Amino acid sequence: MKAAQFSDFCAPLEIVDLPDPELPPGGAVIKVKAAGICRSDWHAWQGHDPDIKYLPHVPGHEFSGTIEAIDPAISQWRVGDRVTVPFACGCGTCQQCADGHTQVCPGQFQPGFSANGAFAEYIALPFAATNLIGIPETVSFASAASLGCRFATAYRALVHLDQAALKPGEKVVIFGCGGVGLSAVMIAHYLGAEVIAVDIRPEALAHAAGLGASATFHPDEIKDLSVDVSIDALGSATTCSAAIKSLAPRGRHVQIGLLLGTESNPPLPMDEVIARELRIIGSHGMGVEGYRELLDRIAEGKLNPSGIVTSRISLGDLPATMTAMSSFNNPCGVTIVDRFD
C-alpha cells in the first residue's frame, strides 16, 4: 500500500510503498476513503507526542472508510461497512470505558500515534467492537473524516453537560479559527449562542462569519468581552490566557487546543480564576456514544461538517501541505486527503 511516512522527527515526509497491515486480534483493517490533516499530526511529525515510540512512522488520526477485514469473533460488523472511529479508541474493558468515557481510557489506542495511522491506503485498529462507528449513507466519507478530532471534540466541548453545556442566548468566544475553531463556531451558532471569533487571519475570520459568528476580532482588537464560555481552539500560552481573561464571573473555559513542546506548561491567570470563580475544563475528544447523537444531527441536516472542509488533496500532495503547517501557511478550515492512488 501507499503511505506517507517520516523516518525521523522533523525529517521529510515521503510517499512510500509498505506492506498491507495485518488484522490484529479483536481488531479490524479499514480501507481509508478520506483522512483529515490536523495540527496534531504536525505535532506528531515534530516529535512533540511521547506516544510515538517507533520510527519510521505513518501519521494520520482522522479518517473514514470501509471495513476490509475484521476479527470473525465480532459479529455486529461486516466487510464493506462504512465506518469511522474516535481519535482516542478505548480498550472496552476498563472502568472509564464502562462509564462511557472511552476518550480518557488509560489504555487507549490512538491511530497515528500509538501505531501507524491513516495517511495510507489501509489502517489496522485494535478494540474494533468498542470503537467502530457506522456512517449513515447520507454522510460523506469526507464529512465523517472531519469528525474524529475537530468537529466531534468541538461538539462535546460545547454541548455536553460535563463540558461547557452552552445554552441559547449565552455568549461564547472562540480563539483560533482552524478546523476545530470553525467547527465550534458552527456548533455554537446552531445552539443559539452569540458567537465571537478571534484569529490573526482575515480569511479565517471571514469563514467564521459565514458559519455564524456575529463578531470577529484580531487578537489586538480585543477589549473587555465578558463572555459566558471561552474556547481555546488553537493551543498556546497566549490564547489560553486570553481566553480565560475574557470570561465573565462564573464563566466556563474549555481548553481544546493542545499545548505541547515549549507551550506545555503555560502560566495561567489563576488569581482571576479564583476571584471570579471561573471553571477550566479540559476536552479530549468524544466517546463513542456521543458520536451516535452527533451523526444523527448531521444526517438530519442540522449540522454540516462539510462546511469546514476547504481543500481536498491526494496523498502525494500531503508532504507539501504538512510542511506549510510549520509556518502556519496553510488554508483555514479542514484539508482532506481523499485520493490515495
Q: What is the per-residue pLDDT across 141-192, written as a single tens digit (0 to 9) for each?
A: 999 998 878 899 999 999 998 999 999 999 999 999 988 999 999 999 999 9
Which pLDDT score, from 0 to 100, does residue 317 have?
A: 95
The model's confidence at residue 207, banded by pLDDT at 50, 70 and 90, is: very high
Residues 53 and 187 in one domain: no
For residue 258, the 8-state DSSP code is -
Domain identity same for 266 and 290: no
pLDDT band at 331 (very low <50, low <70, confident <90, very high): low
pLDDT at residue 239 in the model: 94
Residue 232 backbone dihedrals phi, psi, to 5 degrees: -95, 105
Claim to verify: residue 245 and residue 323 sit in the same structural domain: no
| Total domain count, the chain | 2
Is position 134 within any domain? yes
Q: Number of helices and strands (H, E) in the chain?
A: 11, 15
Query: Do 142 and 129 belong to one domain?
Result: yes
Same domain, 42 and 130: yes
- Residue ending a domain, among 252, 267, 282, is 282
Rounded to whole angstroms, how far apart are CA atoms 110 and 89? 6
- Provide the mean pLDDT of the chain: 93
90 falls within a domain: yes
Residue 65 has pLDDT above 70, yes or no: yes
Domain-ending residue, one of 236, 263, 282: 282
Q: Residue 155: inside a domain, yes or no?
A: no
Full domain range(s) for residue 146: 2-150+286-339
In this structure, the answer to whether residues 291 and 277 fall within a common structural domain is: no
Do 12 and 98 sit in the same domain of this protein? yes
Quick one: average pLDDT of 93-119? 95
Task: Please say which residue of 261, 282, 303 terminates a domain.
Answer: 282
Does residue 277 belong to any structural domain of this protein?
yes
CATH number assigned to the domain comprising residue 269: 3.40.50.720
pLDDT, position 294? 93
Is the pLDDT at 80 greater than 70, yes or no? yes
d(Cα 275, Cα 118) in Å, to the nearest integer? 45
Q: Residue 29 in contact with residue 68, Cβ under 8 Å?
A: yes
96: DSSP letter: H
Residues 76 and 199 placed together within one structural domain of the fold:
no
Domain assignment present for 104 = yes
pTM: 0.91
**Do 190 and 211 fall within a single domain?**
yes
The CA distance from 136 to 159, in Å, is 22
Q: Is 251 among the domain residues?
A: yes
56 & 120 share domain? yes
Nearest to 123 by CA among 75, 66, 81: 66
DSSP notation for 209-260: HHTT-SEEE-GGG-----EEEEEE-S--HHHHHHHHHTEEEEEEEEE-S---
Residue 157 domain-assigned (yes or no): no
